[in-house]
Amino acid sequence: MPGPSYLAFDLGASSCRAVLGELRNGVMHLRDVHRFETPILDRQGHLAWDLAALEAETRAAFELAVADSPGLRSLSFDSWAVDYVPAGAGGEPLRDPFCYRDGRTEGVMNRAFATVPADEIFAETGIQFLPFNTLWQAIADVRDGTGPGALHLSMADWFNHRFGGEPVFERSMASATQMLSARTGLWAGFLARFGIDAARWPRVVPSGTVIGSVPWRPAVRVVAGCSHDTAAAVAAVPASGDAPWAFVSSGTWSLLGAELSAPDLSDEARDAGFTNEAGLDGTTRFLRNLTGLWTLQECVREWNEAGTPVAWPDLVRAAEASGPAEGTIDLEHPRFTPRGGMQARLETAIRDAGLPLPTTRGALARLVLESIADSYRRALLSLDRLTGRRSEVLHLVGGGSRNALLCRLAADACGIPVIAGPEEASALGNLLVQARTMGDLPEGASVRETAAVSSALVRYEPTRRS
């Protein structure tokens, strides 16, 4: 007999997926309904997300899901953070949302500190200073008049609204804007000093809030689950026991951190580049944003567009065959943030590090993967120092968990076991939060425990211990 089913829309900066989840005997079974590349527009020198194309794809996916599972209970969207849709009084989008890699926020953050000092912003929000954060985008809107709007919604919250939900900002997503007070859970008071009207940003709701029903399918509830994809992924980390653990959500970005009971708003956390984002059930995701697989994804895109394509699995196999790299580079350098010219950027960084240039794509990929693993090592050392504990295992979730080479390199670099999986952590976390919200999880079972029994996990032991 089929169990209750739910639909997760997991919107990523590179690709999007609609995933059906069916809960049977305490296990969430996932199956893809639809996948598509995230449509991006490059118009007049600006990068923006193609909102109409995204809506068309997600509406089509919803109809496929209903046809596949007529008893669908609920749906929920999760997405990357920081970007948002400004809407008019009638609810219509005023423009396509700018992409966080668009150059319009260049220099905004540093100039803004003359109005509100950095230490005051961090002490209120606890969020890492990244030049594309929502705060700096909103200041750029005020400066340029590019969509002050009557209402602003994150990408995930916008689509929850378009499918019938109340226009709200879910807390895990709101916390990542650098505009929400970590102390009060309300929009920060300093926003007015930047000319930002907090009344134009909707109320914040807890993760796992039913916010409406789909108008043309009223039996399907709309849930504001964990709108931030990393929050959804961390909810699905299959950790157990009392041993201290850390996580890394690995994809276009890598986000490495630990789950805490309260934010760390100290100067030490700020100076180390850590951020405090809201997690499920009042927890704090204390983490660092790291570059992740972005540089390699960009190289693959450029090679494909140049007519010399390479498949991702072939590139990873070539990286494995190339043997150890002769060194690593700092992938957190700002030079790797923009889109375009990525191979040239990597080669410049390799020269600057005094390393020989790789002679094959496989060797370049190996150097990048080793550099990602080294960024994990450095971030983990900082995490353990700030939390005053020693992490004993690293849970690597998301798309990067499919990359056995990266997992082995991470275990060796960090000197602790790496547990890889679930691969679709954001989608699984999204689905499990929906199931709990709808009252369908088995009695006494937590989201995390259900994630563990619903996932195929692989353990990688380090060849040397730290």
Angstrom distance (rounded) from CA 459 to CA 7 = 29
Domain that holds residue 367: 239-420
pLDDT band with cut points at 50, 70 and 90 for residue 147: low
Domain final position from 201, 224, 247: 224
- Rounded to 5 degrees, φ, ψ at 28 are -90, 120
For residues 182 and 269, membership in a common domain is answered with: no
For residues 180 and 33, membership in a common domain is answered with: yes
What digits encode the pLDDT tens for the residues 340-364? 999 999 999 999 999 999 999 999 9
CATH number of the domain at 125, please. Answer: 3.30.420.40
Chain-centre distance for alpha carbon 460: 24
For residues 180 and 203, membership in a common domain is answered with: yes
Q: 450 lies in a domain?
A: no
Q: Specify the pTM.
A: 0.93
Angstrom distance (rounded) from CA 338 to CA 298 = 10
pLDDT band with cut points at 50, 70 and 90 for residue 462: very high
What digits encode the pLDDT tens for the residues 220-273? 999 999 999 999 999 999 998 778 999 999 988 899 999 999 999 999 999 999
Longest dimension (CA), the chain: 63
pLDDT over 70 (residue 14): yes
For residues 217 and 274, membership in a common domain is answered with: no
Identify the residue with better confidence: 381 or 147.
Answer: 381
At 466 the pLDDT is: 47
Average of pLDDT values for 90-99?
93
Q: Which neighbouring-strand residues pair with 6?
A: 21, 74
Q: How many CB atoms lie within 10 A of CB 2?
A: 10
In 3D, which of 192, 249, 234, 212 has the Cα closest to residue 430? 234
Structure tokens at 147: 């969509």
Percent of the chain residues topping a pLDDT of 90 = 93
Would you please indicate which residues are annotated as catalytic (active-site) residues?
229
- In the chain, the number of structural domains is 2
Average pLDDT, the chain: 96
pLDDT over 50 (residue 3): yes
Q: 244 lies in a domain?
A: yes
At 172 the pLDDT is: 98
Q: Residue 427 belongs to what H/E stretch?
A: helix 425-437
Q: 80 lies in a domain?
A: yes
Amino acid at the residue 74 = S
